[in-house]
Amino acid sequence: MNIYQPHLMRVEEIIDETPDTRTMRLRFKDPRVASSFSFKAGQFGEYSVFGTGECTFCIASSPTRKDYIECSYKKVGKATTGLRDLNVGDDMGFRGPYGNHFPLTLMEGKNVVFIAGGIGLAPVRCVIWNVLDLREKFKDVTIIYGARSVSDLCYKRELEDWATRRDVKLWQTVDPGGETPAWKGEIGFVPTIVEKAAPRAENTFAIVCGPPIMIKFTLPVLGKLGFTDDHIYTTLENRMKCGLGKCGRCNIGKVYVCKDGPVFNAAQIKTLPQEF
């Protein structure tokens, strides 16, 4: 055994969220690991197919739901192609959990606004479920989510679920031109909808995740609404291999995304050098 040895997982369910994004639900093959495994929202792992290599994704399911973990990903290269070739019932590997996590205890008793774009909903969804499973600990919960088009919206079945909950305010949007005739949600880029939704900054934490351009334009909107940098959280990604601070690959200046991250608040992001 060594620290690079993964747990064996069985693919239990495969859901194609969008034409290019897939979610997999995985179970630990070893029942002892299954019952003892725990993690915190925001942490990531190294998912591998033996033969094509390891990929780094956040754990997209909530720590409150035991017995399984989930990941969502797009096919971009060799390792993710290997993952796409898996079928239900196949074995694969998982190493983790690594990294830091969202400070949920800080957010207890406060309002939480989730802002996500495209596949950026995956790391945020983990926290959403974590919060909703412990709903009474948090005050107002707002979710603002958008994608390029209707077909690019991830977790459609969960969006339906959140839309019907009385204790969640959900805004869904697609980019202008991405709507279908049947679309009943908003039309506009995510930062625009955040401005429209105008969540109160007082006593509120924001969790933002999505394409860099979305984050770039969302942060000033939140600033205008009164959110302070230490109340805005996001996750960064970077090229990773070991996931545990030794291979020397994922650092941004002196910050190791795998150890000091992947969760950062906007104040920390502002101190990072332009190397990501």
Partner 1 sequence: MKKEMFISDSDLRALAQELLTAGTAVIAPVQKKLPLGERIEYARVQSPDQLVFNQAVSANSLKEFIMPPTVAILCWKQRKAEVELQEIPRDPTPQVVIGAHPCDAAALAVVDRVMDWDYHDELWFDRRNQTTILSLACTAGDGTCFCTAVGLAPDSSRGADILLLPTANGFRAEVMTDKGEKLVKAHIPRFKDLENQQPLPALEAAKKKIAANLRMDSKAIQGLLEKGFEHELWKTLGLACHGCGGCAQVCPTCHCFDIVDEPEGVDQGTRRRNWDTCQTAKFTLHGSGHNPRADQNCRIRQRLMHKFFIYPEKFQEVLCTGCGRCARVCPGGMDLPEVLKMLTAKAAL
Partner 2 sequence: MQALRTLARKLLTEGTVQVVIGYENGPRGARPTFVTLPEEAERLVFTPGCVQNLASYLSPRRNHLRALGKPAVVVKGCDAKAVAGLIRESQLKRENVVLIGVRCGGVVRDPALFEKLSLDTVADRCGDCDNREPKLVDHLLGELPPAPPASTRMSERMARLEAMSHEERFAFWTEQMERCVRCHACREVCPLCFCVRCLADKTMPQWIESSAHARGNLAWHFTHAMHLAGRCVGCGECQRVCPADIPLSLLNRKMAQIAAQRFGYKVCDDPQVPAPIGAFRKEDEQEFIR
Q: Applying CB under 8 A, which of residues 78, 139, 165, 224 lies at the interface with partner 2?
A: 78
Cβ atoms of 79 and 48 closer than 8 Å: yes
239 binds partner 2 (CB under 8 A): no
* 128: Cβ contacts below 8 Å, ≥ 6 apart: 62, 114, 141, 143, 162
Residue 35 within binding range of partner 2, rule CB under 8 A: no
Binding range to partner 2, per CB under 8 A, among 59-67, 75-83, 116-124, 262-270 = 75-83
Give the Cα separation of 26 and 125 in Å (integer). 17
Q: Is the peptide bond preceding residue 97 cis, with omega within 30 degrees of 0? A: yes
Please give the distance of CA 134 from its chain centroid, rounded to a whole number: 18
Q: Which of 81, 180, 203, 271 binds partner 2 (CB under 8 A)?
A: 81
CB 59, min distance to partner 1, A = 18
Considering only 19, 31, 77, 211, the residue that binds partner 2 (CB under 8 A) is 77
Q: Which tokens belong to 99?
A: 């990294």
Task: Compare residues 50 and 137 and give the one whose CB is closer to partner 1.
Answer: 50
Residues contributing to the site for partner 1 (CB under 8 A): 1-6, 8, 48-54, 76-77, 80, 87, 89-93, 238-239, 241-242, 244-249, 251-254, 259, 273-276
| Nearest-approach distance from CB 129 to partner 1, in angstroms | 26
Per rule CB under 8 A, is residue 271 in the interface with partner 2? no
Name, in order, each residue with C-beta under 8 angstroms of 28's C-beta and a sequence gap of 6 or more.
Answer: 7, 8, 9, 34, 37, 94
Which does residue 14 touch among partner 2, partner 1, none (CB within 5 to 8 A, set by kind)?
Answer: none
ω into 19 cis (within 30 of 0): no
Binding site for partner 2 (CB under 8 A): 77-78, 81
